[in-house]
Structure 1
Amino acid sequence: MCSLRYILILPVIVLTLSLQAQETPEDFVSLDLTTLSWDKGVVEDLGYVSDHEVETTDIYSRALSVPFHYSGPAQLTFFRETSVPGEDAPLRTPVANVNLPNKASEVLLIFMRNKQVEAERYNVIAIPRDKSSFPRGSYQIFNLSDFPVSGKMGDEIFKLDYHGKKVITLPLQEKTSIEVKFAQEEEGQWELGYSSIWSHYVNKRVNIFVLNSKDSVSPIDVRRFSEYVPE
């Protein structure tokens, strides 16, 4: 009888130890999240679980959200809750999933509506943006277009591959104007797609997204979102 009990208990112990071994510190994160909706309007009251508590957040398209803290699994799920007659617990319907980097202290989440399905569903891009690598007075550029781009900000010239990113830090001046240009590479040739003069502020950092343009004359569209960063 003792041998039989040992045989039955042993697999349970092995399974428990196996599950504990799978739960490594890398599976959990504690960081600040900022959100941005790529589509017009506001995504309201998306639910998520942080530190074992259900929280909700609104996601805006005209500006970055105020950072909020998240503590939990690195695979973060956003959901909708609906009440079910006769049930105490609401029904949770996942609408977005994203894997968060485990070595970041701050991450930007960009929500893009998945228009290929009728139900509410979002594709999410997670972009690390720690202040140590993206400080005040700097510009973080993301190439979300379908082609390589070259750029010029102030005196610095750079190139970004498809979905590449780069941080440009300018001299700490109180305020000045800088020249900004982006060009598209196609068949070994560069075609200027964007040219402008921007004001530069030392107390802000700017998120820049380079996109495909719907304008046949200018192949590049640029979106930028600035944010105040205290010292």
Structure 2
Amino acid sequence: MSAPLISISDLHKSYGDINVLKGIDLDIARGEVVVIIGPSGSGKSTFLRCCNGLEKAQQGNIRICGQWLLKDGTELADSSLNELRRQVGMVFQSFNLFPHMSILGNVAVGPRKILNAPKDESEKQAVELLEKVGLSEKADVYPASLSGGQKQRVAIARALSMQPEVMLFDEPTSALDPELVGEVLQVMKTLAKEGMTMMVVTHEMSFARDVADTLVVMEDGKIVEAGPAQTIFSNPQHSRTKVLLQNL
């Protein structure tokens, strides 16, 4: 078998005396979709943010896309970390779009500024990505005129513009009105079908059931259950998992 695209072992993260992550172990294969669920405060988002260096863990190992992000508690130098982040796209709860740029500009700016891509090339790719997320007709408008769901789809297109090998989603629909959630999840489902390696923190259980290869359940900074998603949905073993899934 090939080596995991993402390998995490003995990951610990604290804020002062508060232990947020208490020894996380997880391997993720290329093309695998891992959905992480758990109650608020269980460490899900912190775990995800550790996987691209936005949070600095104090102990453990993270190897991602062939590089050590964290080895024996020591993190990559900032120059190498920036290189790694090009391979690890991230979509947050908030959209973080540039309000002074058109939608096309928001998607094209990364490759042009960071990868030194020519303007025409970056804009051509941006048009293709906006079409992919169903927003090609919005290329020339500005973020203020978009709905929350549209802004989040632009944020996904922007992350994809760097041609990442991995996509991390930190509760990407939690800030959206319920009627706008579906349009964002549909884009994510398409990415999953295309073979994108994905780690998704979400409360959307129907999405997890439909898309996840692996379901990870966290509580109190630990993984309490993990395995094939369909197996866990049909026969959860841990009490926390049963509570989270009981309304399905």
Taking structure 2 as the reference length, the TM-score comes to: 0.28
Between 1 and 2, higher relative CO (CA 8 Å, sep ≥ 6) is seen in 2
* Bigger-Rg structure (1/2): 1
Return the structure number with greater helix share: 2
Structure number with the higher strand fraction is 1
